[in-house]
Amino acid sequence: MGWDRATPFTIDLQVGAEDIDGLGHANNAVYVTWLERCAWRHSQRLGLDLVEYRRLDRAMAVVRHEIDYLAAAYEGDELQLATWIVDWDQRLKMTRHFQLVRPSDNATLLRAQTTFVCIELSTGKPKRMPAEFIEGYGPAIQTADMGLTRETQ
């Protein structure tokens, strides 16, 4: 697969009839849903699920999406969506990159970047990441050089 970076976390997707808009392709809002699903599944894999977020009274909330729609997806397409955590300040902010690929022709359909801020769930206000976030997300952070995770260096 022609991933932009090494060692992606990926999920498989299939474009359903409900994803198609009046123009005959997957609606742009559906892509945002897929980004969220991929980010959540990656967080869960890292041990940071909704139960843990509630226990810690913290969450990573989206503050910005930047999406480049490069090609359309159509009903029945089987897709793979990859994510990487590429930046964080270990206090409030974290950035993920995404790449959506159609394996049948190896076409990249989308590239995106999402910025998250750690919030306190009980107030909705920005709050420093707890140690559990540093421990959970930390090993998954990609370094700038060669797209390797800290685990693989």
User: pLDDT, tens digit, for every residue of 44-100?
Assistant: 999 999 999 999 999 999 999 999 999 999 999 999 999 999 999 999 999 999 999
Give the percent of the chain with pLDDT over 90.
91
DSSP string computed for the chain: ---SSSS-EEEEEE--GGGB-TTSSB-HHHHHHHHHHHHHHHHHHTT--HHHHHHHTEEEEEEEEEEEE-S---TT-EEEEEEEEEEE-SSSEEEEEEEEEETTTTEEEEEEEEEEEEEETTT-SB-PPPHHHHHHHGGGBBPTTTT-BGGG-
- Single pTM value for the model: 0.91
pLDDT of residue 148: 43
